[in-house]
Amino acid sequence: MTETRIVALGGDWPAAGPGWRLVAGGDDPAAISADLALLPADSPLPVALIDRLALPLLVAVGEGAATPHWLDRADGFVLAGDDAETMAAVAASVLAAGRGWQVAEQSATAQHISALSAEAQRLADALAQLAQTADKDSETQISAGLVRRLIRLRRDRDRHFPAELFADPAWDMLLDLTAARMEGADVPVSSLCLAAAVPTTTALRWVRSLSEAGIFVRRTDPGDARRAFITLSDQANEAMLAWLRRFATVFVLR
């Protein structure tokens, strides 16, 4: 089994885990011999320094505030509560071309993550079925404005009830990405986490799971290869549009 070499740029990490070990950094980023760089999400290091490393970036997100630009430049996330086995799985997925953020974990910590993945897969299956049975010739008109109004109504609900009572980050992110696609807007990871209306670590767990299920697609910013956007897969987008047509047919918002 090939061992993944990780250079830690801050934070208090164990020296090694199953399938990975930390390697020493140096004053010259170009001289570091490693496969991945590991960086705390609140790191004050300059972006230019990280760019000079020319390494895939693993961002560690704790319960505190995260710096948006590190979230948007991450090739993978290590989240609060992830154990050594999960960290190894995330690192391996980042190094596997085209599989960013996919995690196949069965560790003790990963039981909760696996449950999220199972839920994400059920959602993917439901969306696929909806897309297949949708009336593609429906004349019902929908718009980004309709979706944004739905999102505002969901946030208004939080004024009257505890937000955690109705927390549904997957649906909030689906709505946000649907509206953004209609508007032709790019959605960075940090913005999507805000749209989820839950703590960052919870949102990122869903991003990982929904990416693994094929609902979310990670796309590199053509203007900055170190930055990533999230979009809906074509199938997920078709399913969301089908649901919105059904909604608009029954509930005409004026």
- 166-225, pLDDT tens digit by residue? 778 999 999 999 999 999 999 999 999 999 989 899 999 899 888 888 889 988 888 887
Q: What percent of the chain has pLDDT over 70?
A: 80
**pLDDT at residue 136, as a whole number:** 52
Q: How many angstroms separate the CA atoms of 85 and 68, rounded?
A: 26
**pLDDT at residue 230, as a whole number:** 95
CATH T-level fold of 4-95: Rossmann fold (3.40.50)
CA angle 171, 205, 118 (to 5 degrees): 70
Helices and strands of the chain, counted as H and E runs: 9, 8
User: Mind listing the pLDDT tens digit for each residue in 4-37?
Assistant: 899 999 888 888 888 888 888 766 666 778 999 9
Q: What percent of the chain has pLDDT over 90?
A: 31
Question: Where are the CATH 3.40.50 domain residues in the chain?
Answer: 4-95
Tokens at residue 200, please? 């960052």
**pLDDT at residue 226, as a whole number:** 79
Q: How many CA atoms lie within 13 A of 135 on its CB side?
A: 9
Q: Report the CATH architecture of 110-250.
A: Orthogonal Bundle (1.10)
Query: What does the DSSP 8-state code read for residue 188?
Result: B
Q: How many angstroms separate the CA atoms of 101 and 98, rounded?
A: 9
User: Contact at 8 Å (CB) between 160 and 207?
Assistant: no
Query: pTM of this prediction?
Result: 0.77
Q: How many angstroms separate the CA atoms of 5 and 26, rounded?
A: 15
Local confidence band at 51 (pLDDT 50, 70, 90 cut-offs): confident
Question: Where are the CATH 1.10.10.10 domain residues in the chain?
Answer: 110-250
Lowest mean pLDDT among 28-32, 60-64, 66-70, 193-197: 28-32
